Amino acid sequence: MVSGALKSFNGVCCTTIHVVAAAAALWGTYLFLGTSFENVLNAFELLGVALALEAVAAVVGRQKADERKHPGAAPG
């Protein structure tokens, strides 16, 4: 059996956040290369959203790593 085949709920959420952040970054980059000033402003907003989502994913990933190191430790 493959032990890594199933992901936990946190793993699925973290992966989803990474995918959404990557999509926002790609769309922001596409808009940044556009000619309209409004597109450039939207691009900066989307890139900010991508950075915020990656920060959330980093915090979730760090909590998962701490749980693996200390499985019985109390949170906080």
Question: Quick one: what percent of the chain has pLDDT higher than 70?
Answer: 68
- Whether the Cβ atoms of residue 49 and residue 22 lie closer than 8 Å to each other: no
Q: Is residue 15 part of a domain?
A: no
Q: What is the pLDDT of residue 1?
A: 39
Do the domain assignments include residue 49? yes
Does residue 69 fall inside a structural domain?
A: no
Q: Can you tell me which residue has the tokens 């956040």?
A: 17
The answer to whether 46 touches 25, Cβ cutoff 8 Å, is: yes
Q: pLDDT digits over 22-59, tens only?
A: 888 888 888 888 778 888 888 888 889 889 988 888 88
Total domains present in the chain: 1
Residue 2 — very low, low, confident or very high, per pLDDT cuts 50/70/90? very low
Q: Can you give the residue range of the structural domain that contains 57?
A: 22-64
- Domain contains 45: yes
The predicted pLDDT at position 68 comes to 64
Residue 42 lies in a domain: yes
16: its two tokens: 């989803």
Q: Does 73 fall in a domain?
A: no
Compute the mean pLDDT over every residue in the chain, rounded to the nearest whole number: 77
The whole-number pLDDT of residue 13 equals: 79
